């Protein structure tokens, strides 16, 4: 209880007495003390020291530690092991959690006020959440076939855009040919991946050689890796977890721009944590154990994936074959020009040949993808760690597992573009930093720096704005666009003055294709900020992927 500090302040006591007489209850007592204090009387602290004049140094009283471990859904992780260590790493307590995922340790010396703890060895086997079983869905089948049809038409429209009746015939033919297919949605995702590889196989050898390697894989194996990951996602029950983990791995490496053996220990640990969080999203139980056993299961999963991919290749092959037969029918020959039709069937034959090549390469690609995944996982395993957390005595520490959604279902080509965008940003920022280091804030310094990266070949070009006359030869496409700039957009400066124009001009002069290019432009400030295209560049720097978008 609070007390008055003696001697009593008579005046303050008189004022307090006028307000509250003989405070018989604790509430009135407190009010009296408040009034006394407000009138200038001194009141003691409510929690005085527990020191005694005779033994001013008291032995410490004992404390306790209480820990709790929960799954993502807040159910207890029963029977998991716990370890409590001193901040220096000395083992203090260990044991198993009870049925409610808790442990309480009494009699902890007060001097042991802080500690580190972790949990491990959840005895529950990792089990994926059950999904409702899928029934064959006519809409899904239709959307899959439409997808294939749109793709084929997209690739063929260059030949047939002057003949709409032909395009309609081609698409309708494809739509009518496919029967109801179970797991059509799964197959649609695999087919989306196969489109990349089929287009790659339609390229000639020189074009194929120009593709840069990604994460230590040739472009071909890189595309197949993404197809296999999607196909493994179709494995019943475990598929989502498998695909989530592999997608998480690839996205992490693309983001870091290197293979697992190029990551530092902290990154490997972060990767392990990410994969555990993804697994927690799809299921419950010992995700660490499941990850450790993963390399031994890849073989079986790859076999399953090969079966799915073959089914999809069969589907595409069947569509192409029937489209060719239809194109050769008397009705089509009667209404469509023979030259156009011959071109169309020639293109279809090229596609069929690419599909055939995909069949031939499937086993070899399976072996290479399998090996790459095993290599990565053998290097991720040392990243397994115990998630130690700090704690202090006298309270409950609850650790709840975390979950994370896996990355989007992107194709190998989309991921390659992402990688190119990242490189373009880094290169532009690096060029801007060099300008800033050289000129500071001096008047007349180049205002912008741009970088162009070819997502197919990995080549990059950088340029800065201004700096006098631009004497490089202008690529014919850009030259034509300059002439087409409306007068009101021309302004005082030449279109060749801009950094993004110059970088793009160099790339095109070096033989790059505009559609493969990613361009990134920044201001040359101390902290480079992204720059949007100026009105002139909006006419000249077109047909490329420009970041930031306008």
Partner 1 sequence: MFRLSKEQLQALSLHLQDDFLKRTASHLLANFPAELAKHGLQSNQLEQLIQRGVNEAESFGVVHEHDVRLYIECMVVLHPRFAWAQDTPWFGEVLRREDLSGTEKMDMVHDQLVFGLYEDGLE
Q: Which residues bind partner 1 (CB under 8 A)?
A: 1, 3-4, 6-8, 13, 22-24, 29, 32, 44, 48-57, 88
Q: CB nearer to partner 1: give 8 or 367.
A: 8
Task: Assess contact for 418 and 410: CB atoms under 8 A.
Answer: yes
Minimum separation from the CB atom of position 24 to partner 1 (A):
7
Q: Nearer Cβ to partner 1, position 44 or 98? A: 44
Shortest reach from residue 46's CB to partner 1, in Å: 11
CB of 44 to partner 1, least distance (A): 7
The DSSP 8-state label assigned to residue 391 in this structure reads E
487 and 531 Cβ atoms separated by less than 8 Å: no
Nearer to partner 1, 48 or 179 (CB): 48
Q: Which is nearer to partner 1, 47 or 133 (CB)?
A: 47
CB of 269 to partner 1, least distance (A): 28
CA distances from 234 to 23, 122, 259, 297, 306 (A): 78, 28, 26, 15, 11
Say if residues 464 and 431 touch (Cβ distance below 8 Å).
yes
Q: Are strands 448-454 and 460-464 parallel, antiparallel or unpaired?
A: antiparallel
- Choice between 48 and 473, CB closer to partner 1: 48
How many whole angstroms separate alpha carbon 119 and alpha carbon 80? 7
CB nearer to partner 1: give 8 or 38.
Answer: 8
Nearer to partner 1, 10 or 133 (CB): 10
Looking at the DSSP bridge assignments, the partners of residue 520 are 451, 547
Query: Cα 403 to the chain's mean position, in Å?
Result: 14
> Given the complex with partner 1, which of 89 and 473 has the nearer CB atom?
89
Q: For residues 33 and 448, which CB has a smaller minimum distance to partner 1 in the complex?
A: 33
The sign one gets for the Cα dihedral 24, 26, 28, 31 is positive
Nearer to partner 1, 57 or 442 (CB): 57
Residue 84 Cβ, how far from partner 1 at the closest point, in Å? 17
Four-residue CA torsion sign, 490, 494, 498, 503: positive
| Residue 32 vs 301, nearer CB to partner 1 | 32
Q: Could you please report the per-residue DSSP string of 419-474?
A: HHHHHHHHHHHHHHHHHHHHHTT-TT---EEEEEEETTT--EEEEES-SS---SPP
The kind and range of the H/E element at 86 are: none
Considering the complex, what minimum distance in angstroms separates the CB of residue 15 from partner 1?
14
Identify which of 550, 548, 450, 547 has the alpha carbon closest to the alpha carbon of residue 506.
450
Nearer to partner 1, 18 or 515 (CB): 18
Determine the Cα–Cα distance for residues 260 and 380; give it in Å rounded to an integer.
7
The reply to whether omega before 548 is within 30° of 0 (cis) is: yes
Contacts 24+ apart (CB under 8 A), 509-516: 509/472, 509/473, 509/475, 510/459, 510/461, 512/452, 512/454, 512/457, 512/459, 513/454, 513/456, 514/477, 514/542, 514/543, 514/544, 515/543, 515/544, 516/454, 516/455, 516/456, 516/457
Supply the DSSP symbol for 214: B
Whole-angstrom distance, CA of residue 323 vs CA of residue 382: 52
Q: How far is the CB of 88 from partner 1 (least distance, A)?
A: 8
User: CB 223 → partner 1: shortest distance, Å?
Assistant: 58
Q: Determine which helix (DSSP H) or strand (DSSP E) holds 522, and give its type and residue range.
A: strand 517-523
Closest of 365, 350, 412 to residue 202, by C-alpha? 350
Least CB distance to partner 1 at residue 122 (A): 33
**Cis omega (within 30 of 0) for bond into 7:** yes
Nearest approach in angstroms of CB 40 to partner 1 is 15
Q: How far is the CB of 19 from partner 1 (least distance, A)?
A: 13
Whole-angstrom distance, CA of residue 479 vs CA of residue 165:
37
Smallest distance from partner 1 to CB 414, Å: 55
Measured from the CB atom, the residue of 9 and 401 that comes closer to partner 1 is: 9
How far apart (Å, rounded) are the C-alpha atoms in residues 153 and 162?
13
Minimum CB–partner distance for residue 110 and partner 1 (Å): 13
H or E element at residue 280: helix 265-282
């Amino acid at each position: 209880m609070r007390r008055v500090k003696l001697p009593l302040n008579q005046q303050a006591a008189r004022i307090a007495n006028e307000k509250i007489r003989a405070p018989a209850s604790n509430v009135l007592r407190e009010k009296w003390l408040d009034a006394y204090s407000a009138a200038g009387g001194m009141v003691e602290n409510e929690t005085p020291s527990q020191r005694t004049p005779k033994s001013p140094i008291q032995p410490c009283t004992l404390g306790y530690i209480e820990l709790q471990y929960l799954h993502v859904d807040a159910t207890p992780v029963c029977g998991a092991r716990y370890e409590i260590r001193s901040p220096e790493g000395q083992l203090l307590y260990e044991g198993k959690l009870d049925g409610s995922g808790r442990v309480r340790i009494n009699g902890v010396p007060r001097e042991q006020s802080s500690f580190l703890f972790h949990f491990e060895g959840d005895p529950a086997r990792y089990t994926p959440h059950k999904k409702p079983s899928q029934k064959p869905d006519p809409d899904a089948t239709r959307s899959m076939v439409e997808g294939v049809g749109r793709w084929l038409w997209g690739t063929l429209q260059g030949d047939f855009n002057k003949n709409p009746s032909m395009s309609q015939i081609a698409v309708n033919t494809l739509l009518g040919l496919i029967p109801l297919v179970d797991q059509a949605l799964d197959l649609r995702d695999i087919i989306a991946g196969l489109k990349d590889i089929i287009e790659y196989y339609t390229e000639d050898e020189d074009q194929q050689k120009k593709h840069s390697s990604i994460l230590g894989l040739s472009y071909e194996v890189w595309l197949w890796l993404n197809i296999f990951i999607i196909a493994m996602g179709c494995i019943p029950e475990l598929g989502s977890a498998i695909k989530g983990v592999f997608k998480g791995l690839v996205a992490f490496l693309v983001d870091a721009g290197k293979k697992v053996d190029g990551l530092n220990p902290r990154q490997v640990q972060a990767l392990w944590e990410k994969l555990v969080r993804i697994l927690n999203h799809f299921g419950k139980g010992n995700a660490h154990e499941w990850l450790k056993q993963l390399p031994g299961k890849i073989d079986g999963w790859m076999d399953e994936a090969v079966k799915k991919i073959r089914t999809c290749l069969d589907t595409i092959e069947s569509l192409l074959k029937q489209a060719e037969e239809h194109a050769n029918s008397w009705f089509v020959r009667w209404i469509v020009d023979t030259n156009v039709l011959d071109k169309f069937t020639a293109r279809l034959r090229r596609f069929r040949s690419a599909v055939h090549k995909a069949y031939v390469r499937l086993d070899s690609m399976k072996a290479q993808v399998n090996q790459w995944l095993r290599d990565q996982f053998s290097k991720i395993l040392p990243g397994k760690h115990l998630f130690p957390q700090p704690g202090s005595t006298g309270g409950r520490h609850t650790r709840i597992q975390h979950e994370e959604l896996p990355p989007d279902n992107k194709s190998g080509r989309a991921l390659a573009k992402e990688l190119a965008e990242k490189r373009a940003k880094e290169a532009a920022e690096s060029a801007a930093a060099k300008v800033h280091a050289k000129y500071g804030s001096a008047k007349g310094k180049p205002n912008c720096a741009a970088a162009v990266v070819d997502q197919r070949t990995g080549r990059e070009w950088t340029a800065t704005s201004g700096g006098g006359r631009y004497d490089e030869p202008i690529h014919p496409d850009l030259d034509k666009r300059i002439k087409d700039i409306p007068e009101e957009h021309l302004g005082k400066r030449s279109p060749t003055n801009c950094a993004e124009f110059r970088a793009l001009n160099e790339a095109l002069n070096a033989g790059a294709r505009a559609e493969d290019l990613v361009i990134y432009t920044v201001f040359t400030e101390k902290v480079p900020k992204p720059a949007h295209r100026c009105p002139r560049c909006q006419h000249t720097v077109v047909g490329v992927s420009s970041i930031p978008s306008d």
